[in-house]
Structure 1
Amino acid sequence: MNWQSFGEFLHMGGYALYVWGACAMVAAALASEVMLVRRRLRLARRGAAR
């Protein structure tokens, strides 16, 4: 697609809520996965130290 302005890009041809909502959900899922992996790594290191 070719947008004439940044506002048109943000509007996404009328699908902004779906597009940006999907991006937000993916970002939240990736962030939670990183936090969970760090937590599991920390717990595994504590277990290995004992």
Structure 2
Amino acid sequence: MHSVGPVPMSSWNNYPNITAILYAGAPGEQMGPSLVDVLWRAVNPSGRPSF
């Protein structure tokens, strides 16, 4: 989900097939490819520097 503000999600509790929500905030130009890399485990989003 991409959003720049709060999103009411309480009604989503009625859908048992929703098991996770990926919130991306206000994405930039490379957010799409970056999310794909994280979802397919091509990178480790540990927040540590790569050096």
TM-score of the pair, normalised by structure 1: 0.28
Q: Between Structure 1 and Structure 2, which shows a larger proportion of helix residues?
A: 1
Q: Which structure would you say has the larger Rg?
A: 1
**Higher RCO (CA 8 Å, separation ≥ 6 residues):** 2
TM-score scaled to structure 2, two decimals? Answer: 0.28
